[in-house]
């Protein structure tokens, strides 16, 4: 596979997936009697129309960048960390608990302390799954799903029993020193909930890029993800890599939860269901194909969809859930990128075949007498498959990898 | 409360809470035996619960007492339709099974609430169902001394149905042509293909069966426990069913046993208030017990060999 090709693919697949996802949303809206163009423009206005909306979009994107990075690291190592939500929840609880238990710390110690508490909680939680996978071969998909619900009910009991005052379903608000919101950013965005977390998230995304591309550990993580047996043969410790990648993954997710807790909620509540930043972060990472810069863009896109989606139901009768349907459809098409590639390849191949037919026709016409009867016949089928390159003949942009049929065969999980 | 009443309540709440899990877990077993990992059971249950609730509210007048039972079928049918997304994606379009299952889980609550808002004037939840799956006393069996009053009085008929179905499904998987072929497709699709079994067809059937049973499970949940449909009707039951299936080592009867056990853990937190020893324990223990036990069982007892060998793989027929 050539570098230029992978670049083209990695850019086009998510763009086509987003387009198809919006198309699915439009079809559903049409079928239920709503005006998709009106709704999508309402969504766009609702997301970028005012400084306040932009602030809300960026605030929504902030934790998604972090949880997306967390998911991406584990995914590079070949692990499907469905526990993002649970790790974020523990990070949220850890950050808020730290802030509530040490209310008198100065801001310079308080904020890093609370964030680190979140990081540690998230890392420990995913570390359990990594440890079990490394030493017992237990599927991380099942363990992280189970740990999600342990985290959900566990933190609910912790909030209700330890942090909350009286019989409340929420903890007190964290001290001012631990809050990520500041008057400056709030003024800038007309009292939105935009907060400093975005800068933490962007630094984290840069850290992810550096870790994966510039360090030995990142190289080992990618090597283990691509071929565990090969990595072991090359002398890398797969156990160590599994555990480290899961720890770092959980650390990012925990940081995401803590940032969202200290910036957005400023307390912690008893949750009915897993926090949405978990699955949304996974989706962001899948859409971005695990690239750090892609995660930032994908997270902002999700922020646009989610905040803009609220405006859909304000301006019309269309339920705002349509946005979540669009998001699910986008991820569906990212997952089914084989079919997108197949469609692209087929059209490219058809183009090539058409070209080849023309070329063959001209070749036969011009060189008909020269070719001897002996070698002419066996050459004929090949002329159909591979167009002979001629001077001045423009080659069509063929985007096909000949081996894509066997790319993902027999990949047992 | 005297012992018999406590036991009666314990058994009947156990059955009520395990019924949705039993159906869904058996469904999961079918899908995984055909080689398709189905983490989308949660989403399938959501759609089943939605369909069951809407059917119940719409046709309650005409069908009377039969409403909830036909509602289960409605849930099953919608579950099949919804599971086709997973089938097409994983079987034909080579999507990663976990990603596709996650799409179902993302899609279902959004789609369910969207349709609910369309049907019921913008409200995000349905009204309370007027024809629920109520508990009932089984005529003859309840007359058996000792066992009768505890197990067959005011009990969940649908849970017993699930238990019977689990035994039937175990027989299907091990003794019928369909079951053996389904399993061969999940163990070694290339070998199955070489003797002329259509891998695609059997995988479609496996996923659709999981959609049917998962949809029924969701409808049971809505019609017997929550009694309406909202975004919080199904919170984690699908994953719990998945856990039950793993706990039961991918065997329908094992999955059923695990589901009953999980139902027991849930009912303890409800009935526990009347039992002196359990009363002193915090509720959270019972909420997290099923999940923790699954992890422990997975680590300690279930080897990798328990899962079908080709589970999670994509089969591409050689040209």
Q: Quick one: pLDDT at residue A400?
A: 45
Q: Quick one: pLDDT at residue B1?
A: 58
Share of chain B above pLDDT 70, in %: 97
Smallest CA-to-CA distance from A335 within B35, B102, B99, B86 is with B99
**Is the domain of A186 the same as that of A315?**
yes
**Is the domain of A248 the same as that of A396?**
no
Task: Please answer yes or no on whether A132 and B295 come within 8 Å at the CB atom.
Answer: yes
Smallest CA-to-CA distance from A171 within A98, A276, A84 is with A98
Task: State the residue range of the domain holding A404.
Answer: 338-362+381-413
Tens digits of per-residue pLDDT, B215-270? Answer: 999 999 999 999 999 988 998 899 889 988 988 889 999 999 999 988 888 887 77
Q: Quick one: pLDDT at residue B184?
A: 94
- Distant-in-sequence, close-in-space partners of B145: CB < 8 Å, separation ≥ 6: none
Q: Does domain B3-306 have CATH number 1.10.3470?
A: yes
Higher pLDDT: B175 or A9? It is: B175
Give yes or no for A408 touching B (CB within 8 A): yes
CA distances (Å), A253 to each of A69, A115, A178, A268, in order? 8, 11, 19, 16
Interface residue of B110, B269, B305, B317 to substitute, partner A, most A CBs within 10 Å? B110
Between chain A and chain B, the number of residue pairs with CB atoms below 8 A apart is 153
**Is the domain of A116 the same as that of A238?**
yes
**Bridge partners, A170 (sequence order):** A269
Task: Please answer yes or no on whether A149 and B236 come within 8 Å at the CB atom.
Answer: yes
pLDDT tier, B309 (very low <50, low <70, confident <90, very high otherwise): confident
Higher pLDDT: A368 or A106? It is: A106
Q: In this complex, which of B103, B114, B239 lies closest to A321 when CB atoms are compared?
A: B114
**Is the domain of A308 the same as that of A351?**
no
Mean pLDDT of B203-217: 96
Mean pLDDT of A282-302: 91
**Is the domain of A274 the same as that of A343?**
no
**Is the domain of A170 the same as that of A35?**
yes
**Is the domain of A129 the same as that of A22?**
yes
Give the whole-angstrom CA distance, residue B50 versus residue A392: 62
- Indicate if the alpha-carbon torsion angle B298, B300, B306, B311 is positive or negative: positive
Please say whether the beta carbons of B133 and B68 come within 8 A.
Answer: yes
Give the whole-angstrom CA distance, residue B108 versus residue B103: 8
Give the whole-angstrom CA distance, residue A82 versus residue A73: 13
Domain total for chain A? 2
Higher pLDDT: A180 or A125? It is: A125
Q: In this complex, which of B92, B122, B239 lies closest to A149 when CB atoms are compared?
A: B239
pLDDT tier, A344 (very low <50, low <70, confident <90, very high otherwise): confident
Please say whether the beta carbons of A389 and A356 come within 8 A.
Answer: no
**Is the domain of A342 the same as that of A251?**
no
Angle at A376 between CA A372 and CA A380, to 5 degrees: 165
Contacts of A74 in chain B (CB under 8 A): none
Q: In this complex, which of B94, B103, B288 lies closest to A328 when CB atoms are compared?
A: B103
Q: Is residue A192 part of a domain?
A: yes
Q: Given a cut of 60, is residue A2 above it in pLDDT? A: no
Q: Given a cut of 90, is residue A113 above it in pLDDT? A: yes
- What phi and psi values does residue A137 have, to the nearest 5 degrees? 70, 20
Tens digits of per-residue pLDDT, A140-185? Answer: 888 998 899 999 999 999 998 889 888 888 889 888 888 888 888 8
Q: Is residue A410 part of a domain?
A: yes
**Is the domain of A387 the same as that of A354?**
yes
Q: Quick one: pLDDT at residue A398?
A: 45
Q: Given a cut of 60, is residue A413 above it in pLDDT? A: no
Tens digits of per-residue pLDDT, A304-338? Answer: 999 999 999 888 888 989 999 999 999 999 888 88
Least confident of A119-128, B122-131, B182-191: B122-131
DSSP letters, A58-73, are: HHHHHHHHHHHHHHHH
Q: Is residue A367 part of a domain?
A: no
Q: Is residue A262 part of a domain?
A: yes
Interface residue of B85, B291, B300 to substitute, partner A, most A CBs within 10 Å? B291
Q: Quick one: pLDDT at residue A411?
A: 39
Tens digits of per-residue pLDDT, A30-78? Answer: 999 899 999 999 999 999 888 889 999 999 999 999 999 999 999 999 8
**Is the domain of A227 the same as that of A352?**
no
Here the CATH number for the domain that contains residue A82 is: 1.10.3470
Rounded to a whole number of angstroms, the distance from the CA of A286 to the nearest CA of chain B is 9
Task: Please answer yes or no on whether B291 and A146 come within 8 Å at the CB atom.
Answer: yes
**Is the domain of A349 the same as that of A306?**
no
Mean pLDDT of B1-15: 82
Smallest CA-to-CA distance from B137 within B160, B155, B158, B161 is with B155
Smallest CA-to-CA distance from B126 within B223, B239, B212 is with B223
The token pair at A273 is: 């269901």
Q: In this complex, which of B93, B103, B105 lies closest to A339 when CB atoms are compared?
A: B93
Give the whole-angstrom CA distance, residue B129 versus residue B134: 11
Q: Given a cut of 60, is residue A381 above it in pLDDT? A: no
Tens digits of per-residue pLDDT, B60-74? Answer: 888 888 889 999 999
pTM of the model: 0.85
**Is the domain of A36 the same as that of A128?**
yes
């Amino acid at each position: 596979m050539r570098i230029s090709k992978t670049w083209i693919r990695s850019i086009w697949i998510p763009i086509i997936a987003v387009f198809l996802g919006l198309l699915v949303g439009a079809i559903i809206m049409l079928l239920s009697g709503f005006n998709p163009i009106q709704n999508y423009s309402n969504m766009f206005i609702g997301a970028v129309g005012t400084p306040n909306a932009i602030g809300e979009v960026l605030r929504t994107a902030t934790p998604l960048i972090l949880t997306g990075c967390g998911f991406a690291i584990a995914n590079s190592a070949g692990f499907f960390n469905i526990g993002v939500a649970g790790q974020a929840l523990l990070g949220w609880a850890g950050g808020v608990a730290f802030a509530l238990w040490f209310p008198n710390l100065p801001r310079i110690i308080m904020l890093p302390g609370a964030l680190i508490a979140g990081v540690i909680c998230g890392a420990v939680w995913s570390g359990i799954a990594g440890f079990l996978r490394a030493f017992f071969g237990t599927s991380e998909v099942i363990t992280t799903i189970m740990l999600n619900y342990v985290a959900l009910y566990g933190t609910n009991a912790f909030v209700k029993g330890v942090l909350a005052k009286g019989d409340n379903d929420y903890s007190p608000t964290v001290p001012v020193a631990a809050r990520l919101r500041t008057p400056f950013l709030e003024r800038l965005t007309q009292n939105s909930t935009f907060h400093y977390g975005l800068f933490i998230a962007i630094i984290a995304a840069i850290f992810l890029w550096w870790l994966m591309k510039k360090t030995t550990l990142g190289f080992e993580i990618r090597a283990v993800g691509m071929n565990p047996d090969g990595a072991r043969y090359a002398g890398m410790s797969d156990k160590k890599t599994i555990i480290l990648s899961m720890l770092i993954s959980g650390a990012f997710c925990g940081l995401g939860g803590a940032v969202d807790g200290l910036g957005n909620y400023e307390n912690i509540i008893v949750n009915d269901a897993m926090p949405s930043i978990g699955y949304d972060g996974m989706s962001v990472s899948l859409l971005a194909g695990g690239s750090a810069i892609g995660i930032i863009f994908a997270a902002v896109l999700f922020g646009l969809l989610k905040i803009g989606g609220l405006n859909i139901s304000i301006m019309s009768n269309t339920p705002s859930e349509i946005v979540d349907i669009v998001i699910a459809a986008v991820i569906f098409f990212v997952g089914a990128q084989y079919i997108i590639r197949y469609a692209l390849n087929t059209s490219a191949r058809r183009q090539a075949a058409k070209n080849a037919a023309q070329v063959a026709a001209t070749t036969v016409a011009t060189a008909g007498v020269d070719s001897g009867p002996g070698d002419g016949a066996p050459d004929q089928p090949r002329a159909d498959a591979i167009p002979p390159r001629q001077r001045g003949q423009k080659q069509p942009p063929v985007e096909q990898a000949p081996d894509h049929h066997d790319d993902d065969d027999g990949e047992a999980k | 409360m005297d012992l018999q009443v406590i036991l009666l309540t314990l058994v009947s709440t156990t059955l009520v809470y395990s019924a949705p899990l039993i159906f869904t877990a058996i469904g999961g077993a079918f899908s995984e035996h055909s080689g398709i990992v189905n983490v989308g059971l949660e989403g399938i249950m959501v759609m089943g619960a939605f369909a069951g609730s809407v059917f119940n509210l719409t046709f309650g007048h005409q069908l009377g007492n039969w409403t909830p039972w036909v509602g289960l079928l409605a849930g099953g049918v919608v579950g099949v339709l919804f599971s086709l997304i997973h089938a097409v994606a994983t079987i034909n379009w080579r999507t990663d099974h976990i990603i596709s299952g996650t799409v179902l889980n993302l899609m279902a609550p959004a789609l369910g609430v969207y349709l609910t808002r369309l049907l019921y004037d913008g409200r995000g939840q349905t009204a309370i169902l007027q024809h629920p799956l109520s508990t009932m006393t089984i005529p003859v069996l309840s007359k058996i001394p000792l066992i009768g009053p505890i197990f067959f009085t005011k009990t969940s008929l649908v849970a017993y149905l699930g238990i019977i179905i689990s035994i039937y499904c175990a027989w299907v998987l091990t003794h019928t042509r369909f079951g053996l072929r389904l399993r061969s497709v999940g163990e070694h699709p290339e070998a199955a293909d070489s003797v002329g079994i259509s891998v695609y067809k059997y995988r479609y059937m496996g996923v659709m069966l999981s959609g049917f049973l998962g949809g029924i499970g969701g409808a049971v949940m809505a019609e017997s426990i929550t009694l309406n449909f909202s975004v919080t009707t199904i919170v984690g039951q699908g994953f719990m069913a998945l856990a039950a299936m793993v706990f039961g080592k991918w065997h329908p009867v094992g999955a059923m046993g695990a589901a009953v056990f999980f139902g027991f853990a849930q009912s303890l937190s409800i009935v526990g208030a009347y039992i002196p020893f359990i009363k002193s324990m915090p509720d959270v223990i019972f909420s997290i017990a099923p999940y923790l036990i699954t992890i422990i069982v997975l680590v300690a007892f279930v080897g990798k060999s328990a899962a079908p060998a080709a589970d999670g793989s994509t089969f591409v027929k050689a040209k």
